[in-house]
Chain A
Amino acid sequence: MKKIFCFLLSSIICFCFFTTNAQAAKKGGTFNFIAPYGGDLSSLDPHKTNRSQDYIVILNIHRSLYIWSSEKGKPVLALADSVDISKDRLTYTYHLKKNIKFHNGRGVTADDFIWSYQRILNPKTVSSSVRNIRIIEGADDFISGKSKSIKGLKKIDNYTLQITLKDVVEPGFSLYPPEVAILPKEEVIKRGDGFGVSPVGCGPFKFSKWVKGSEVVLEKFNNYYEPQKPYLNKVVYKIMPEAASRDIAFKVKELDATIVGSVNYPEYKRNPDISKNMLEIAELWTRVICFNVDYGPFKNKKVRQAVNYAINTKLINRKLLKGKAVNPVSFLPPTSPAFSENVKGYEYNPEKARQLLKEAGYEKGFTFECLGTDNSTWGVRAVEALIPMLRKVGITVKPVRMEGAAMATRAKTGNFQALIWSLDSGPDPLSALSRWKSDNKRNGGNYCGYKSAVYDNYLDLARKTTDENKKLDYLKKADQTFLKDAPVWFYNYNKAVMAYHPWVHGLQPMSVELMFQDLSGVWVDDKSPRKR
């Protein structure tokens, strides 16, 4: 008995020793990462920016109530241990973690949540995150100044927060993104506009240095609330908009991980050393050509379908994008919970396309202009590839290359025949599909001007039901209706690819945006040139 006890004890000690040792081995090192989108960052104040480039960094400095879980494919609680949900699914009572500290050392309480959400709604803040907080009851009254506080936001005690929603929605989708992070009131007030360049949050890393246009440096926050984490001592985000220089910097081992573009994808894939250390995921971005359904030929559903049949989409994705794209089915991608598994998208069938055009009265074809930016994946380059395919069925497409802002303006006013774009199709399928509702105008994102009573009806049903399965079912039906009506050419879902060196561990396949890496769980082993 004694022996067994001793054995148990020693094994427990051993176990503890090894785990702590393993934990210790994970610790330390600098991680050189990238901020690859466009140019410099604009602000590290989560409430005041709307750019992916900024969120890449922000989500490691700040924390929101929820956080995206790549394992579960949905938001999970971050700053709270548990939540009680009322029967009508409108009231959520969060039991907040008690050990959360801001980088200035002060503990986080329910007041900070209330203050942060109020700051977002306050028109003076000019926050683009307003739409996320608007799900809370009384938000509109607060915005208009009718009430001094948000009715649906209550502090029960320091560590208990109650949120009442306006409608039955899953609050995680609105309250997980980095743009609704919890901020320390005193620091925001003290720093004023300077908060965006020297932020204070409660995330795993604290802000250290920002060399504008070159790099952002973060340092480990020792009082982070998750035990043992973060492992890294330092994170450096290199601002590198050029894919070619990222490629070289990665190969020189200056970067620990990098995002891979379609140009380098086949090469990285072929290289056995790199290819075993690659993350690939279908991101929740759907690339389409929006047909303006008010433009002559595109008024007719058959014409729109014909275009889809006439294009060898798979060939374009394979050759032009070198396989760095997921072939489309409908609007929602496979990583969406409402993806229609058993449905087939449009096949390449020029015969059928011709047939449909004939039925629509466009036997002799027609001409249309397609606007696009110089983006190499979802810009005019893709439209160019359509020219020979569409010519075979008599359709002439003229690519029109435009600068982003000029094109966005035309997209919102409907002054175009067709345009190519990348649209978000998640994470919440309901809000992704709401883009195409009849009451959503072009400047709200319904660029096609798509109108369908059947589609609207499915979405309304999905919104009202409390049964999760039924909801998904309605959403799938809506998605399929959209597929049949074909107000867009379904081009692809983005296949995001990240390559990393063998010494890097813990990167996550983030379907929302692969670059949105929470680095608190990432660690580097001794082979890293920057371990110490």
Chain B
Amino acid sequence: MKNSILKIKNQPNLVIGGFITAVIIFMALFAEVLSPYHPVNDADLMVSEEPPQISYLMGTDDQGRDILSRVIYGSRISLSIGIVTQLMNTIIGIIFGLSAGYFGKWWDDFVMGLTNIMLSIPSMIFALAIMALIGPGLINLFIALGMTNWAYTCRITRSQVLFTKSLDYINAAKALGYSNTRIMFTQILPNILGPILVIGTLGVASAILMEASLSFLGLGIQPPDPSWGGMLATAREQMFTAPWLSIFPGLAIFITVLGLNLFGDGLRDILDPHSYSKIK
């Protein structure tokens, strides 16, 4: 126990990343308390597109709503979309990628075929199809985003497995009679986690931004509910005339992804058996 605390202490990335992530999660949980205004109900056209000032720290949007409050409330939707869909993507991707790379043969061909399909059909078409077949809604948005982007993680995982599985220690593990599952998850996975975590955490940004484009098709968050991606997307034309409309939600995404990315890097260092020894 002491040992692991020490390990964490030696990981500035993990600490800083964890702190940023914790702050944002805190913001999402206590949005009601933290926001100076209601993100929807306090709209007042009379004060639309006011630049940042004392009463509106981040200014107001085109509908006369406080941007700070919308950024705070928006964290709920954007953070959950970013994290949930990326978790789905990463887990599915790892399972398929690991097994495809490890077992090879027809299973590899099948998984590769599947990823080819997922990677080549535009996500917009998927989203429209989900809209048409099961209708709009937050859960369906999760499905649309979480089920389509795993192929990327899968391919990266597979390529790493192909390289790793020929290394000596894997052969050693095989000789020791470890089960396939055990080799995959305890011997190979920790060694290839780095790139996967990078893709997973950076992917949060694209998931948050993708949410907006899918919401435009009717899937997912509907106005007036705030989401960072949505705020950015509706402000796109006003980029030069009212820059605060897009700067602050953009900054929110940046900080979140930075936090998660740092956290992921730190996590990798702890999970990677080889880096352990280095720290010790």
Contact = CB atoms under 8 A, between A and B. Distances in A.
In the complex, are there CB atoms of A and B closer than 8 Å?
yes
Interface in B116-161: 128, 131-132
A376 B234 CA distance: 8
A244 B40 contact: no
Contact of B224 (A267, A312, A387): A387
Interface string A364-395: 00000000001010001101110110010000
A461 interface: no
A384 B63 contact: yes
B48 A244 contact: no
A391 B45 CA distance: 14
Nearest to B42: A388
B237 A263 contact: yes
Contacts of A400: 218, 222
A387 B43 contact: yes
Nearest to B43: A388
B239 A315 contact: no
A244 B237 contact: yes
Contacts of B131: 403, 406
A319 interface: yes
A48 to B, nearest CB: 27
Interface residues of A, number: 30
Residue with the greatest number of chain A CB neighbours at <10 A, chosen from B215, B223, B238:
B223
A243 interface: yes
Given A401-B215, A406-B218, A320 B241 contact: no
A402 interface: yes
Given A381-B62, A399-B222, A267 B241 contact: yes
Contacts of B40: 387
Nearest to B62: A320
Interface in B211-252: 215-218, 222-224, 234, 236-241
A247 B237 CA distance: 10
Contacts of B222: 380, 398-401
Contact of A403 (B128, B223, B236, B241): B128
Contact of A319 (B45, B132, B240): B45
Given A400-B218, A406-B131, A244 B240 contact: yes
Among B46, B215, B217, B224, chain A packs the most CB atoms within 10 A around the CB of B224
A400 B136 CA distance: 10
Contacts of A383: 223
B4 interface: no
A531 B172 CA distance: 78
A244 B236 contact: yes
- Centre residue among A312, A316, A385 by max chain B CB count within 10 A: A385
Interface in A225-242: none
Given A244-B240, A264-B241, A406-B131, A381 B218 contact: no
Contacts of A387: 40, 43, 224
Contacts of B64: 319
Given A263-B237, A381-B62, A319 B46 contact: yes
Contact of B217 (A319, A320, A385, A403): A403
Interface string B196-216: 000000000000000000011
Given A399-B223, A403-B218, A406-B218, A385 B240 contact: no
Interface string A291-333: 0000000000000000000001001100110000000000000
A469 B222 CA distance: 49
A316 B43 CA distance: 12
Nearest to A267: B241
B128 to A, nearest CB: 7
A266 B238 CA distance: 12
A204 interface: no
16 contacts: A247-B240, A263-B241, A266-B241, A312-B45, A315-B45, A315-B46, A316-B45, A319-B45, A320-B45, A380-B223, A381-B62, A381-B223, A383-B223, A384-B223, A385-B63, A388-B41
Interface of A: 243-244, 247, 261, 263-264, 266-267, 312, 315-316, 319-320, 374, 376, 380-381, 383-385, 387-388, 391, 398-403, 406
Closest 6 pairs between A and B when the two form their complex, measured CB to CB: A319-B45, A402-B218, A263-B237, A403-B217, A388-B43, A374-B216
Given A263-B241, A387-B40, A401-B222, 5 more contacts: A376-B237, A381-B234, A388-B44, A401-B223, A403-B216
